[in-house]
Amino acid sequence: MDLQTFLQQFVNALSLGSLYALIAIGYTMVYGILRLINFAHGDVFMIGGYLAFYGISTFVIPWWLAVALAIALTTLFGVGLERAAYRPLRDSPRISIMISAIGASFLIENLAIVLFDARPKAFPVSDFFAANYVFSGVYVAGISLIIPLVTIVLLAVLLWIVHRTKTGMAMRAVSTDIDAARLMAIDVDRIISITFAIGSALAAIGGIMWALKYPRLEPLMGIMPGLKCFIAAVVGGIGSIAGAVLGGLLLGFIELMTIAFLPELTGYKDAFAFVLLIVVLLVKPTGLLGKNQGEKV
């Protein structure tokens, strides 16, 4: 393998990994606060892609407006999801909350099949995103350049919110101890809603960029990326934003580099993430950057 091929794969892996990172952040934030795998996060991601598609193709509004609307509506959707499926079960056993999360995901997927039609749709990609740029022999699609940039900007904004604003401080407080936070007069429900809003907005942006990169929409398209990004969050250390980014990038690189160096393993691509998950959980269950939490009796 020469340097040029390596760079080509590097660019591809970077853009895929950044996408994974963006979605993984949503998982890690919700898990950090509610100790809940939001199984429906991958479906929120799918909704984002579809809403942008309908904005651009059916309602023929300018793409920037369609994207903004899609992000806003998906955010509302995510907040509504938390209200309807998770809030009523706040004090229930964990197994019930998990079944609710799985049920919500199941319901959204089936609704999507009914509303959006099971047949795949082609996402309209403008020339700007589709065009290939050549840098000393390495081909880079416009979208592959934009994804890492968007991820970096969003990550900076997010870190600013979490570490420099009052809301962010409240989020960290709820994540550390939900009961103590309530005693400190933090409106826990509001903070949870905000967390879901941020996570869903990131998922929507991820979904739209995913659709620009792989322009094919299907009602079940969120499942695999959703699972992989959850794995990325676990590998990085669930609850940690930096961990989610690290895990996402790691997963993107492992996936593409393995295919590049060992093409005969291409068929097993979707299994890498799960093998990585099982290995990491056995060797370092708290993930690469996770804090060790003692077991409570």
Round to whole Å and give the CA distance between 139 and 287.
34
Q: Which residues, 6 or more positions from 166, have their beta carbon under 8 angstroms from its beta carbon?
A: none
Among 9, 74, 100, 195, binds another protein (CB under 8 A): 100
The backbone torsions φ and ψ at residue 61, rounded to the nearest 5 degrees and listed phi first, read -100, 160
Q: Residue 254, interface with another protein (CB under 8 A)?
A: no
Name which of 66 and 234 has its Cβ closer to another protein: 234
Q: Residue 175, interface with another protein (CB under 8 A)?
A: no
Q: Residue 274, interface with another protein (CB under 8 A)?
A: yes
CB of 271 to another protein, least distance (A): 4
Beta bridge partners of 133: 140
Beta bridge partners of 135: 138
Alpha helices in 177-240 (DSSP H): 178-183, 188-213, 223-236
Name which of 164 and 296 has its Cβ closer to another protein: 296
Among 80, 103, 120, 137, binds another protein (CB under 8 A): 103
Q: With CB under 8 A, what is the number of residues at the site for another protein?
A: 40
Q: Residue 156, interface with another protein (CB under 8 A)?
A: no
Q: Which residues, 6 or more positions from 289, have their beta carbon under 8 angstroms from its beta carbon?
A: 236, 237, 240, 242, 243, 246
Amino acid at 268: Y
Residue 203: which of 30, 36, 8 has the closest Cα?
Answer: 30
Name which of 169 and 224 has its Cβ closer to another protein: 224
Q: Residue 281, interface with another protein (CB under 8 A)?
A: yes
Binding site for another protein (CB under 8 A): 36-37, 85, 88-89, 92, 94-96, 98-100, 102-104, 106-107, 109-111, 113-114, 118, 227, 230-231, 234, 267-268, 270-271, 273-275, 277-278, 281-282, 285, 297
